[in-house]
A = this chain, B = another copy of it.
């Protein structure tokens, strides 16, 4: 039995995971990272204790605890080197948590990498030795699986595909570059495209939908398109082309067996995936070999918990 912890900017979610990558129990607490790392780590320890039957802990029924953390993680050292949204720099997270959970080995990885491992072991990429898992949310997260294992580069920070430039000199990104994939193909990027189109097409159905819901979201353009709105359809098409551009870049570079798409936007299902697949395949370098399969991630937030639990299985 293992414990996997998904340390997020908002919540800490944890799960008790068995050998078959099944989550038996789950629990969560708010992160409140402003309290500083010590309080956060104390809450992580309490969460583990609450989740695991006491006799299990005593009797060695738990083999290890794994943590998926945002930011750059030096997994060999168990250190969060830099996590902007938690405010943690060079935090020896594994050591800190292990000191509160005597006898339990604690491992850490970047959260997107942990989620990719989860999808690769028990989700959309299971049975495949190479996969790229792209999670489209506020930003774009990306985890790389090669030979069934997380590939995290020489410093634990590989897989920042959200920060590869697809529009040279384009929109400013949070990372400081111009024209990152994330600036165009994240939910934030979609919302920006939607707002721009609402300005230039004031009669669009998008405006009504946004007014009804009280905000513009990643769904606004998709919903307008479903209502037959032309401007909405154009936003969705342009967005899908940006997303496909980056996916095709990753296919040309990696030629993985599988690309998994997760995050809120993947809830659009085949409405998004069918055209996305078609655009991506058209853009990919002709190899004469098997092309990568584009598939929706299936584990949702559980991917991170399962992957974290299985870090050193």
Where the two chains meet, the residues of A that have a C-beta atom closer than 8 Å to any C-beta of B are: 72, 74, 81-82, 89-90, 129-130, 142, 144, 146, 151-161, 163-168, 170, 175, 177, 179, 184, 242, 245, 248-250, 252-257, 283, 285-292
Contacts and interface: CB of A to CB of B under 8 A. Distances in A.
Given A164-B249, A288-B72, A289-B81, A154 B175 contact: no
B90 A288 contact: yes
Contacts of A81: 287-289
Contacts of A287: 72, 81-82, 155-157
A113 B170 CA distance: 32
Contact of A292 (B154, B161, B179, B292): B154
A165 B245 contact: yes
Given A165-B249, A170-B168, A285 B156 contact: no
B168 A166 contact: yes
A255 B158 contact: yes
B252 A289 contact: no
A230 to B, nearest CB: 21
B160 A285 contact: yes
Nearest to A177: B283
Contact of A285 (B151, B175, B290): B175
Given A81-B288, A151-B146, A164 B74 contact: no
A168 B291 CA distance: 22
B168 A154 contact: no
Contacts of A283: 165, 177
Contact of A289 (B74, B163, B242, B253): B74
Contact of A252 (B130, B154, B161, B286): B161
A275 to B, nearest CB: 17
Contacts of A170: 168
A307 B259 CA distance: 30
A67 to B, nearest CB: 17
Nearest to A289: B155
B245 A168 contact: yes
Contact of A165 (B248, B257, B286): B248
Nearest to A184: B168
Q: Which of A153, A156, A256, A290 has the most CB of B within 10 A?
A: A153
Q: Which of A160, A177, A285, A291 has the most CB of B within 10 A?
A: A285
Nearest to A79: B288
A253 B82 contact: no
Contacts of A165: 166, 245, 248-249, 283
